[in-house]
Amino acid sequence: MRKLFTPGPVEIPQEVAEASARQPLHHRSQEFQTLSHRVWKNLQTVFRTTGPVAVLGGSGMSGIEACLTSLFRPAETILVLNNGRFGERITTMGRIHGVNVIEIVAPWGSSIDAAAVGEVLSQNKNVRGIWFVHSETSTGVLIDARAIAAIARSVIPEILICVDAVTSIAIHEFETSQWDIDVAVAGIQKGLMCPPGLSCCALSIRALDRVITDVPQTYTLNLQTVLSHHDRGLFAWTPPVSLVAALDVALSLIKDEGLDSVWLRHATVAHALRERLVAHGSNLFGNATSNALVAVEDVRADEIKKRLHDRHGIVIAGGQDALSGRIFRIGTCGSVVLQDVDDFFVAFADVTADL
């Protein structure tokens, strides 16, 4: 019996699995359009936004690319906060599309504070937008999105504030409208407790004005096209209808639990796991602040990962890039509860007993 303890994909509730396994609805049927409208409305609740949430097929990175190419033109300047693998990806993506990218780079495992952002923006008033990863999945570091958004807005009032919220939405407190964030992007395979394959992009009025007035740079990822179809109750392209049905059920579960309770549950689970690991003698990696995962520094990372899988059917994530073989990452997002921490630790104690 396999059990996922990865920071995405996550174990999905039975009701969500059953919804995704039913015969698919036709994507132009009235039944599916009614379901889609319900999903879009409930996503606004989960993102805490008064603006629309565009849904398109693809990963979280697909959504980020859709937003980047729909909002920024070649030769325009953006600031990217880069303190992990996903910050690096945004930089790479921007440069591929001809955007002028300046960076604040911090070592993996470190945070980036708002004061540093304010200083760089004060010296670069031509910056059109800022991109940052709220919860860096490669390292387990959470940065202060609210403070960064506030200082960016104060220095350059018209700046577009864009956030990779892939391991934030339905995991951490995240207030898209209240914090005056223009773009927040998430996949559905983490806090939203679904199989992977859909990207959700929350957009402010400021971002919508930019999308509507600018010339498209892509075809299938053009948010102007996506949103114009949403207005008619349709998806621009044939969507993965079974995933939309699964997301509908997952959002209902989150609504029933209450978003504040969902945030608290994730904080409680992550804190409990960190305490257990530290008491066991493990070293947490870097500035361990994300509630989506716990990263542990250990030269035996690969062996621990293998033993957990072979002996207990537990799947955890290894380190990425330079951290490969140096850390392992335990997912604490989705439908995870304290009992899962207990179950994991029984297995963890067993596989590390003779190492």
Task: Tell me the average pLDDT across 186-212.
Answer: 96
Q: What is the CA radius of gyration of the chain?
A: 20
Cβ atoms < 10 Å from Cβ of 209: 11
Do 277 and 234 share a structural domain?
no
CA–CA distance from 92 to each of 85, 102, 163 (Å)?
11, 11, 16
Res. 224: pLDDT tops 90: yes
Domain boundary among 256, 290, 313: 256
C-alpha span between 173 and 263 (Å, rounded) = 6
pLDDT band at 1 (very low <50, low <70, confident <90, very high): low
In this prediction, what percent of the chain has a pLDDT beyond 70? 100
Q: What is the CATH number of the domain that holds 151?
A: 3.40.640.10
Are 252 and 262 part of one and the same domain?
Answer: no
pLDDT in tens, 72-87: 999 999 999 999 999 9
Q: Are residues 182 and 287 in the same domain?
A: no
Per-residue confidence (pLDDT) for residue 213, from 0 to 100: 77
Q: Is the pLDDT of residue 317 over 70?
A: yes
Cα 336 to Cα 77, 270, 307, distances in angstroms: 40, 10, 22
User: DSSP label at 215?
Assistant: P
Of 205, 236, 256, the position where a domain reaches its end is 256
Query: In one letter, which amino acid is 109?
Result: G
Q: What is the 3-state secondary structure (H, E, C) of 251-306?
A: HHHHHHHCHHHHHHHHHHHHHHHHHHHHHHCCEECCCCCCCCEEEEECCCHHHHHH
Write down which residue in 230, 256, 282 finishes a domain.
256
What is the distance between the alpha carbons of residues 120 and 203, in angstroms, rounded to a whole number? 25
Q: Tell me: do 236 and 137 sit in the same domain.
A: yes
Claim to verify: residue 98 and residue 212 sit in the same structural domain: yes
Q: Average pLDDT of 8-30? A: 95
Same domain, 19 and 155: yes
Are residue 162 and residue 63 in the same domain, yes or no?
Answer: yes
**Partners of residue 101 on adjacent β-strands:** 78
Q: What span, in angstroms and rounded, lies between the C-alpha atoms of 147 and 155?
A: 12
pLDDT per position as a tens digit, 249-277: 999 999 999 999 999 999 999 999 999 99
Confidence of residue 217 (pLDDT cuts 50, 70, 90): confident
Query: Is pLDDT at 167 greater than 70 in this prediction?
Result: yes
In this prediction, residue 349 carries a pLDDT of 95
> Which three-class secondary structure state does DSSP give residue 135?
strand
Phi-psi region of 200 (alpha: psi -120 to 50; beta: other; left: phi over 0): beta
Could you tell me the residue range of the domain that residue 290 belongs to?
Answer: 3-8+258-352
Q: Distance between CA 279 and CA 135 in Å, rounded?
A: 25
CA–CA gap between residue 102 and residue 100 (Å, rounded): 7
pLDDT at residue 312 above 70?
yes
My answer on whether 92 and 113 are in the same domain is yes
d(CA 283, CA 222): 44
Residue 216 pLDDT: 81
Residues 241 and 285 in one domain: no
How many domains would you assign to the chain?
A: 2
Report pLDDT digits (tens) over 93-120.
999 999 999 999 999 999 999 999 999 9
Which pLDDT score is estimated for 205? 96
User: Does 286 share its domain with 148?
Assistant: no
